[in-house]
Structure 1
Amino acid sequence: MNTSVKPQALTGPHPNPSAVVAAYLQVTLDRIADPTVPDGCLLTMSAAQFPALDAAGQATVRAMIDGLRAMLEQALRAAGADEHAAPEWALCTLATNKSLAVLSRAGFSSDDLATVAAAAARYP
């Protein structure tokens, strides 16, 4: 995953929290559809192999995931999510993002992936 692209999707301004999630997940959908981008997400694939990583690798993966979560939460708050909803929505968005990478590798169609992303953007 190119971690510089996703934060740009979060910079806004966004009219509401749903727009934050939609913009963030659209980057994922665009990368999945781009034949010049390798299949899968390095961070997602690394997280899937977490138990096999050494302590330094585990710390790096966790720090990257925690960083993405914090950026999402901040962007959601900036777009109007309340203090209680923002952390939950950030975690759900992060989980959706990672599942899109896995589903794409499992052969789900771009329409199916877009459906997942659209449903996530409608939460709560």
Structure 2
Amino acid sequence: MDKLYKVGEYINKYNQILNINLPCISIYASKGLRKHIETRHNNCVDYIEKIPDIIKNPDFVGTNPKEPNSIELVKIYDNNIQIGIKLDISKNYLYVATLFDIKEGKIKRRLNSGRLKPF
């Protein structure tokens, strides 16, 4: 965990809204997250600094049915930004796995399907 830094706290309200059971513990980001975003989602680099705000004040919360033990948080800024948070089961910590922009249409579809819920 020496390459990780704390970016927020997981709150039980996410579990209640989504009917899931992730542990209410600190959320971390790795020092390699910036490189991942620069490589794969370069237009979102400026939002790395906003991760604590996204965790504390998301506009929408959701789950990815293909990723058990994870949660998605979406925040509306100039762009719609989504972060994916996963639980490392073996080491029992939550970490930000990715950050990217998400189109308005995709948010609406996910709200309609129930994958995303207003926070």
* TM-score normalized with structure 1 length: 0.30
Which of the two has higher C-alpha Rg? 1
Higher strand share: 2
* TM-score normalized with structure 2 length: 0.31
Bigger RCO of structures 1 and 2 (CA < 8 A, at least 6 apart): 1
